[in-house]
A and B are shown apart, each in its own frame.
Chain A
Amino acid sequence: MIYQIRKDDFLSWLKKQREGKKVLVPTRKEEGYLFLPWVGDELDLREYTNTLKPVKDVFFPQWETLIRYRVEKEKSGEIVEETSRTEPLILFGVRPCDAKSIKLLDNVFDGEKYKDPYYCQRRKNTLIISLGCRELGPTCFCQNIGINPLSSEGSDILLVEFEDRYLAQSGSDTGLEILEQAPFTPAESKEQKIFDELNGNPARLNEAEFRSLALNNMPDFNDSVWEKLYQKCLNCGICTYLCPTCHCFDISEMTLDSEGKRVRSWDSCMYSSFTLHGSGHNPRPTGKERIRQRIMHKFNYFPQNYGVIACVGCGRCVAECPVNFDVREALKLLGVWKDDLQL
Chain B
Amino acid sequence: MTDTNTLSKIQEKARRLLEDGKVEVVIGFAAGTVPGKSTPSFISAKEDCESLVWDNGCSLNLAKYVLKEKRKAAIIVKGCDSRSLVNLITENQIKRENLYIIGAACPLSASCAGCQVKVPVIYDELIEDGSEIREVSTIAERRYDDVLEFEKLSAEERKAYVYGEVSKCIRCYACRNVCPACYCKECFAEKSLPQWIGKTTDIGDNLIFHLIRALHVAGRCVDCGSCQRACPMGVNLRLLNHKLLMEVGSLYQFEAGLKEDQILPLNTYQYDDPQPFLAKGGGHE
Contact = CB atoms under 8 A, between A and B. Distances in A.
Contact of B33 (A31, A236, A271, A343): A343
Contact of A318 (B33, B174, B229): B33
A53 B169 CA distance: 11
Interface residues of B, number: 37
Contacts of A31: 168, 232-234
A328 B230 CA distance: 20
Interface in A212-262: 231-232, 234-238, 241-242, 250, 252-254
A115 B136 CA distance: 63
A324 B42 contact: no
B174 A237 contact: yes
B64 interface: yes
Given A30-B234, A322-B229, A326-B33, A234 B177 contact: yes
A62 B170 contact: yes
B56 interface: no
B195 to A, nearest CB: 6
Interface stretch (B114-122, B126-134, B198-206): B198-206
Contacts, number: 104
B213 interface: no
Interface string B29-69: 00011110111111000000000000000001000110000
The 10 A-B pairs with the shortest beta carbon distances in the complex, nearest first, are A31-B234, A237-B172, A322-B230, A236-B174, A324-B39, A324-B32, A63-B200, A232-B40, A234-B177, A265-B199
Given A62-B171, A242-B232, A254-B200, 17 more contacts: A62-B170, A231-B42, A231-B65, A234-B174, A234-B177, A237-B173, A250-B199, A265-B200, A272-B190, A273-B190, A320-B232, A322-B174, A323-B39, A323-B178, A324-B33, A328-B33, A343-B33
28 contacts: A30-B234, A31-B232, A63-B200, A138-B35, A231-B65, A232-B42, A234-B64, A236-B173, A236-B230, A237-B170, A237-B174, A238-B172, A238-B232, A250-B199, A252-B192, A252-B199, A254-B198, A265-B200, A268-B172, A271-B173, A322-B178, A322-B226, A322-B229, A323-B39, A323-B60, A325-B39, A326-B34, A329-B33
